[in-house]
């Protein structure tokens, strides 16, 4: 039977806060999960923003690979927010990042 994996990502949380709470016994369920599995700090992306970091985590590529750099899409010529009705095309296979299409 294949092993199962669960990832608990605490978006925007400084790891030292959770680590000190674990040491004080304030997060018993998370401590139990940590003891029975593994725990690791992850480096974030640049820019360190939620949509950029989670897109990199989900795709295994950096922002240059998946094309998400911000909460909004920007016009590459002016860097101003793009007010167009953009959408993402589904990738052709699981190893290709989604493409932004106008």
Predicted confidence (pLDDT) per residue in 53-99, tens digit: 999 999 999 999 988 888 887 777 888 887 665 556 666 766 766 66
pTM of the predicted structure, to 2 decimals: 0.65
User: With 90 as the cut, is the pLDDT of residue 52 above it?
Assistant: yes
Query: Is the C-alpha dihedral spanning 72, 47, 101, 54 positive or negative?
Result: negative
pLDDT digit string, tens, across residues 18-47? 999 999 999 999 999 999 988 888 888 998
6: left (phi over 0), alpha (psi -120 to 50) or beta: beta
pLDDT at site 100: 60
Report the candidate in 16, 35, 18 with the shortest Cα–Cα distance to residue 27: 18
Alpha helices in the chain (DSSP H): 15-23, 28-36, 50-59, 63-66
């Amino acid at each position: 039977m294949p092993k199962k994996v669960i990832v608990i990502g605490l978006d925007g949380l400084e790891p030292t806060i959770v680590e000190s709470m674990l040491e004080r016994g304030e997060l018993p369920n998370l401590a139990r999960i940590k003891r029975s599995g593994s725990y690791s700090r992850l480096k974030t992306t640049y820019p360190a923003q939620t949509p950029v970091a989670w897109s990199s985590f989900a795709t295994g590529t950096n922002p240059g690979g998946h094309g998400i750099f911000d909460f909004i899409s920007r016009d590459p010529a002016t860097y101003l927010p793009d007010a167009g009705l953009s959408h993402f095309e589904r990738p052709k296979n699981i190893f290709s990042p989604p493409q932004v299409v106008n």
